[in-house]
Structure 1
Amino acid sequence: MILDKFKNKKKDKSITPSEGYKNYLKNIKIEKIKIFIMQIALLIFILGIWEILANKDIISTFLFSKPSAIYDLFMRYMENGQLWVHVKTSVYETVLGLIIGTVGGVIVAILLWAFPRLSKVLDPFLVVLNALPKTALAPIVIVWVGANVKGIVVTAILISIVVTILSAYNYFINVDEEKIKMLKSFKATKLQILFKLILPANIGNLINIIKINIGMAWVGVIVGEFLVSRNGIGYLIVYGSQVFKLDIVMMGVFVLAVCAWIMYEIVNIIEKLYKNYR
């Protein structure tokens, strides 16, 4: 009965937060707005200084270009549709590499958690793989897999999967041991412990892994596109450097930054929705 009353109170929509709590939430929102305005102001300041220095010939427009020239080039690429082709190609490859690398890494981490002996056997190999400069292996991977989208995606997967395995496994084994013992005392199986405790306790950590893997996947895709692609942001950057058009290079870097930021923000929104739901 007491528990039922407590649940009913939680569901009671008539309970309103205090004025102090409302002010606290309001101050948080105001602080976020202030930070956002300062970020925009800093960006405008940097672009403005860059434009002024370029127009005054203090910095070389051949080497650094300038914001107005990059914007004009961006609009031309948007109008003729070329930019969308490159962006769609790179985003597709990155999302594919991100999903496979993250899901595959988590599955391997679960297996390592479920079979401690296997984790001890594979531990030195994973450490060595993590230490290897995987971007340097990209040419070999592409020769093995093929000079196409598959080769680029596999490169992205290789860069993210080892980090995912090590991070996720570390999170899994550091779950409160007392809670695990309590579940075992109720005769819970490993599968039940995994889905009732280990994974739910690490949702936030897994989301953080996804955030890290966004950057990792983009690195793999761009490196792969540097080597073999005829489309994509990486190809655009390499092409611009080959023909000494730094406007194209800088535009490619800018578009790459925006795409990575959008993906990161999407994950942030999912994280907020999860926290609110919980």
Structure 2
Amino acid sequence: MPFQPYRHSAGALRPSPLYRRYLSAQRRRRALIWLSRLAVLAAFLCLWEWAAREGWIDSMLTSKPSQLWTSFRELLVEGKLLKHTWTTTLETLVGIVVSMALGTVIAVVFWWSTFASKVLDPYMVVLNALPKVALGPIFYIWLGDRYSIYGMAVAISVIVTIMMVENGFKEIGRSKLKLMESFGATRTQMLRMVILPASIPNWIATLKVNVGLTLVGVIMGEFLSSKAGLGYLIIYGGQVFQMNMVMVSIAILAVLSIALYGLVNLLGAWLKRKNHFES
């Protein structure tokens, strides 16, 4: 008997018992996955605290979870934590938007002109392989202590954006483009009606990669020149040997990266629904 997720009952479609059991099993599996993740985190924190209390590790060098909570509350009450977290968040968001917009525009230019793509492709490879931290002093001299952070963030992520978006353009079925061309469609129409809508999954994947890359660029920039931000807190805490401040800043960075990644997932789901509805 074939699997039937829905069946007619009193003139309405209702989930079959087998399908309801399947959905219930999936919900239990998702709950088990989340509980396992929390259990791993709790076990790590407990082991860290226990090792510090027993003297297996030097809490002066590694801190411990109980001290982190105390430092977190102190920084929060003083207003430093919100200020520095917002600074890093704003710099990261600006870096993501600029790198995605600039990278997408350049990828469109490369798709439009294969000549430009072939000429500049070796330079893209070299720039992608170049250690971006070497550009920090140059950006500092050119852009100053504040805007050099944005320069670092964009420099790290824009080349990856160009390469991933351009490859996504190339992977789109040529048969669709040939069909549109046979009906007299212009390059602009093909770009607007086929290339860009079909590239949404690849664009979201690129955005997910850029969350991490841009955050790395922002922290590197703050290490070099900033007077505010989580990167500044990490450097300052290391200089005055306050490892609690360093560890709290790293924990906030982890939470920030999770939050940004979650926002990208929500944006991707919305774009897919919107594109499916319009198509």
Query: Aligned residue for 1:88?
Result: 86
Query: Could you list the per-position Cα deviations for residues 82-110 of structure 1 after superposition, in whole angstroms to 9, with x for gaps in the alignment?
Result: 10000011100000001000111011001
Task: Give distance in 1, aligned partners of 2:232 and 2:21.
Answer: 51
Structure 1 residue 59 corresponds to structure 2 residue 57: yes
Equivalence for 2:178: 181
What corresponds to 1:237 in structure 2? 234
Give the superposition deviation at 1:259: 0.6
How far, CA to CA, are the matches of 2:18 and 2:273 in structure 1?
Answer: 21
Structure-to-structure mapping, 1:11-30, within 5 angstroms: 15-30=13-28
Say yes or no: does 1:110 pair with 2:108.
yes
Residue type of the alignment partner of 2:252: V
Give the 3-state SS of the residue equivalent to 1:187 in structure 2: coil
Give, as a single letter, the amino acid of the residue that structure 1 aligns with 2:89.
Answer: V
Instruction: State the distance in 2 between where 1:112 and 1:120 align.
Output: 8
Is 1:201–2:164 an aligned residue pair? Answer: no
Q: Is residue 248 of structure 1 aligned with residue 245 of structure 2? A: yes
Residues 219 and 231, structure 2, Cα contact 8 Å, conserved in 1: yes
Please point out which of 255, 264, 268 is paired with 1:267. 264
From 65, 73, 76, the equivalent of 2:74 is: 76
With over 3 angstroms needed to count, the CA separation of the structure-2 counterparts of 1:176 and 1:246, relative to structure 1, is: same
The Cα of 1:179 is off from its aligned counterpart by 1.1
Secondary structure of 2:55's match?
coil
Change (3 A) 1:19 1:178: farther
Distance in 2 (alpha carbons) for counterparts of 1:276 and 1:27: 26
Aligned-residue offset at 1:185: 1.1
Aligned pair partner of 1:36 in 10, 34, 54: 34
Per the normalisation by structure 1, the TM-score is: 0.91
TM-score where L is the length of structure 2: 0.91
Offset of residue 27 of structure 1: 2.6
Query: Which residue type is aligned with residue 29 of structure 1?
Result: R
| Amino acid across the alignment from 1:47 | L
What is the distance in 2 between the residues matched to 1:21 and 1:141? 58
Q: Secondary structure at the match of 1:231?
A: coil
Confirm whether residue 100 of structure 1 aligns to residue 98 of structure 2. yes
- CA shift, 1:16, in A, is 4.4
Separation in 2 of the partners of 1:185 and 1:69? 69
Q: How many residues align?
A: 265
AA in 1 matched with 2:207: I
1:257 is matched with which residue: 248, 254, 258? 254
Q: Which residue of 1 aligns with 2:47?
A: 49
Match of 2:207 among 203, 207, 210: 210
Q: Report the alpha carbon displacement of residue 15 of structure 1 after superposing the two structures with TM.
A: 4.3
Corresponding position of 2:137? 139
Displacement of 1:31: 1.6
**Structure 1: which 5+ residue stretches go unaligned?**
1-13
- How many angstroms does 1:180 deviate by? 1.1
SS in 2 for 1:146: helix
Aligned-residue offset at 1:154:
1.2
Q: How far is the alpha carbon of 1:242 from its aligned partner?
A: 0.4
Aligned AA for 1:127? Answer: V
**Distance in 2 (alpha carbons) for counterparts of 1:53 and 1:139:** 40
Which residue does 1:130 correspond to in 2? 128
Q: SS of the residue aligned with 1:147? A: helix
Contact 2:200 2:272 in 1 (8 A): no
Q: What amino acid does structure 2 have at the position aligned with 1:35?
A: I
Distance in 1 separating the partners of 2:235 and 2:121: 37
Shift in alpha-carbon separation, 1:20–1:107, aligned structure 2, 3 A: farther
Query: What CA RMSD, in Å, does the superposition of the two structures yield over aligned residues?
Result: 1.5
CA offset digits 1:10-61 (Å, max 9, x no partner): xxxx544544444333332222111111000100000000000000010011
Distance in 2, Cα, partners of 1:47 & 1:162: 38
Amino acid at match of 2:63: S
State how far apart, in whole Å, the 1-side matches of 2:87 and 2:47 are: 33
